Amino acid sequence: MENLQAILQSPTPVLIDCYATWCGPCKMVPPILREIKDKLGDSLRILQIDIDKNQQLAAQWQISSVPTLMLFKDGKLLWRQSGVVPAHQLIPIVREKIA
């Protein structure tokens, strides 16, 4: 996988889903991400990060609950929210932030 820092610095927006395999609500997120990818295509990159396998990153980002979604562009955090966000709510948020 590419260097995460390089991905986050990219002009292409990156939506990150911080999840855990033991988290029930986290299992609801992948279909939402697929729907977003279908709607927004290559204008957005989507990554999923398992916080148990990436504990240092989870600590750095202060992830205290999962799922947590974060939107980065040009190395800047544009938006962050914990909990499951339905695609119909998430798509307008992403579009507004990356416009």
Q: Enumerate the β-bridge partners of residue 16.
A: 47, 70
Known catalytic residue at 18 = no
- Point out the catalytic residue in the list 14, 15, 18, 26: 26
Point out the catalytic residue in the list 23, 57, 78, 87.
23
Minimal CA–CA distance to 79: which of 66, 93, 67, 99?
93
C-beta separation of 68 from 80 below 8 A: yes
Active-site residue set: 23, 26
